[in-house]
Amino acid sequence: MSRFSIRTDLAIETAQMLTESEKSIEGVEVENIETGRDDIFLSRVKIENEKGEKAMGRPIGNYVTIESAAIKENDADAHEKIIELLSEALIKLLKLEKNSTILVVGLGNWNVTPDALGPKVISKILVTRHIRESLPEQIDSSVRDVSAVSPGVMGITGIETAEIIKGIAQRVKPDFIIAIDALAARRSSRINATIQLTDSGISPGSGLGAKRMTLNKQTMGIPVVAIGVPTVVDAATLVNDTMDNLIDALISRIKTGSEFYNMLSGLDKSEKYDLIQEILNPYTGNMFVTPKEVDAVIERLANIISNSINIALHPGINRDDINRYFN
């Protein structure tokens, strides 16, 4: 991984890269789960120990991934199923009690559309901390104590995002933190089409290559569950994928065993990626790319994630109730 470190925040992509050369990864368990639909894929990567942590380059924990091209499309039926899967996965990771209190944090910059997912989700969270004590008893049992905040980014506030959240958490004293942020992917096909849920925490700004102080149980003092969506892809990665497709097309069209065939099939992936980075850097620098329809897609993603969180946190509320509340 030190030689071939294509930019990705997705555990499933790292696992797939490693298993290209090995049948299994010591200390890592990968499981594909049936969803009941051919167009929605659910997988779980569990990093069990330090060996798995070292191999994967990310902390010990559970990483649940939902993948579907329908996530970025206006497909109500698919979105309903994705909301169901995401809320169920969130409930399993959180292990909430009846009286659990939760702080939901929307990471990212609301002025930059690909990085505005967190703030968009926060605007749709059903917050109850300020009214729960005044709720009738029959309603009170169906909701939990939920507060939400979008702290901005260091470029706006001048303060480490994790420091702001830690200060709020020390005052509010939640039992759990749920953090939402934009990520980066290795494959362009996964942009805006993948949702990752993990109990290992998150580094704010990681999607745009600006990692800051990590939000996790060690830094916050309470469990942190992170929900992320890759909204950008590194320019060098995009070119690398295009080159891979071009090379595969050329190999399929030339004579096996020829000098040109042997040259193409013998290309080292890490050397090719390093060469692409070297060529691009003087012109593009640290550039990330996002699809042109990102505005509409971020709105859809915010609806999916906020609905999933609201359903998971408030046991007596369904999607229809939430839609009536926000409409």
Per-residue pLDDT of the chain (327 residues; tens, 9 = 90+): 334 445 678 889 888 878 766 667 889 999 999 998 999 999 999 999 999 999 888 899 999 999 999 999 989 999 999 999 999 999 999 988 888 999 999 999 988 888 899 999 999 999 988 876 666 555 566 788 999 999 988 878 888 888 999 999 999 999 999 999 998 887 888 999 999 999 999 877 555 555 567 899 999 999 999 999 999 887 777 777 777 777 778 777 777 777 766 776 676 666 666 677 677 766 655 677 788 888 999 999 999 999 999 999 998 777 776 666 655
pTM for this prediction: 0.83
Q: Alpha-carbon distance 219 to 24, whole Å?
A: 32
- Residue 124 is assigned to a structural domain of this protein: yes
Tokens at 3, concatenated: 């030689």
- Residue 154 is assigned to a structural domain of this protein: yes
- Residue 272 is assigned to a structural domain of this protein: yes
- Residue 6 is assigned to a structural domain of this protein: no
Helix or strand run (H / E) with residue 164: helix 161-172
Across 2-60, the runs of DSSP E, i.e. the strands, are 28-33, 41-47
The partner residues of 148 in beta bridges, in order of sequence, read 104
The pLDDT, as a whole number, for residue 2 is 39
- Residue 289 is assigned to a structural domain of this protein: no
Q: Are residues 185 and 77 part of one domain?
A: yes
Domain range for 278: 238-284
The pLDDT, as a whole number, for residue 1 is 39
- Residue 84 is assigned to a structural domain of this protein: yes
Q: Are residues 126 and 56 part of one domain?
A: yes
- Indicate the number of domains in the chain: 2
First-to-last C-alpha distance (Å) of the chain: 48
Q: Alpha-carbon distance 213 to 160, whole Å?
A: 7
Q: Are residues 217 and 172 part of one domain?
A: yes
Q: Is the dihedral of CA 92, 95, 100, 105 positive or negative?
A: negative
Matching residue, tokens 């009846």: 98
